[in-house]
Amino acid sequence: MTGYACVADALAEHGLAVLPGFLDAEETAQLAAVCRARRDGFARAGVGRAAGHAVNAAIRGDDVLWLDEDDVAVQPVLARLAALQDELNRTLYLGLARLECHLAAYPAGTFYKRHLDQHRGEDTRVVTIVLYLNQGWVAEHGGQLRIYTEEGARDVLPVGGTLVTFLSDRFEHEVLPATRERLSLTGWFRRREAGVF
Ligand code: OGA
Ligand code: MN
């Protein structure tokens, strides 16, 4: 079974899939280099929507850089994620229309408290994806993604190349603080919005 088919199977069965090695070491290093080269352009991430949107370091402390779909430097990884979107639509009929994504950098010591990715009163974010870009990450560095499932909490280390996907409306999760900067590409496959083509 291909990696994409494994992700689709696990999403169908558990609503959650963790795939180590989605990117190889070279692809991971290349994307991490893009993050570092653009690091000064990252902006503090906010919480809440519209008028309620604000930076709140007590809730989340990451810096993000939103990506355009025609950004040349990230085309290879966006193409892989588009192939995953097609596979999920083909096998699970999720009706995913597009991926919105950003690069994220958590400075050492920062975190993102327990939350759900779907904004209240909105169901356009269907599947969350997190792709880690950290070379040489070990348990002592911390920075786990803690996902709260019916069977209890599941911790995932942000090891470079690992792809985590889960249904956005189903799992509360949090990012634990780390002892070093923690990089990822994080995004959401969105459903087609009414009236938007
Ligand atoms: C998020 C998030 C998880 C991670 O950006 O909403 O929960 O592991 N990220 O970076
Ligand atoms: Mn989240």
Residue 120 pLDDT class (50, 70, 90 cuts): low
Q: Give the integer Cα–Cα distance in Å for 160 and 71.
A: 21
Answer for the pair 158, 164: CB distance below 8 angstroms, yes or no.
no
Residue 176 covered by a domain: yes
Whether 196 has a pLDDT exceeding 60, the answer reads: no
The tens digit of pLDDT for each residue in 78-117 reads: 999 999 999 999 999 999 999 999 999 999 999 999 999 9
Residue 8 sits in a domain whose CATH number is 2.60.120.620
Q: 171 or 195, which is more confident?
A: 171
Residue 173 covered by a domain: yes
Domain enclosing residue 112, as ranges:
3-47+56-190
Residue 92 covered by a domain: yes
Ligand 1, residues 184, 185, 189: which to mutate, most atoms within 8 A of Cβ? 184
Ligand 1, residues 173, 188, 189: which to mutate, most atoms within 8 A of Cβ? 173
Whether 39 has a pLDDT exceeding 90, the answer reads: yes
Whose Cα sits closest to atom 7 in ligand 1? Answer: 174
Residue 196 covered by a domain: no
Q: Give the integer Cα–Cα distance in Å for 59 and 1.
A: 39
Specify the ligand 1 atom closest to the Cα of 143: 8
How many structural domains are present in the chain? 1
Specify the ligand 1 atom closest to the Cα of 174: 7
Q: From the CB of 185, is ligand 1 less than 6 Å away?
A: no
Q: From the CB of 175, is ligand 1 less than 6 Å away?
A: yes
Residue 32 covered by a domain: yes
Nearest ligand (C-alpha, residue 143): 1
pLDDT the model gives residue 40: 97
Residue 33 covered by a domain: yes
Give the residue-averaged pLDDT of 107-136. 92
pLDDT the model gives residue 194: 66
pTM of the model: 0.94
Kindly report the average pLDDT of the chain as a whole number: 94
Residue 195 covered by a domain: no
Specify the ligand 1 atom closest to the Cα of 62: 5
Residue 197 covered by a domain: no
Q: 2 or 165, which is more confident?
A: 165
Three-class HEC string of 158-197: CCCCCEEEEECCCCEEEECCECCCEEEEEEEEEECCCCCC
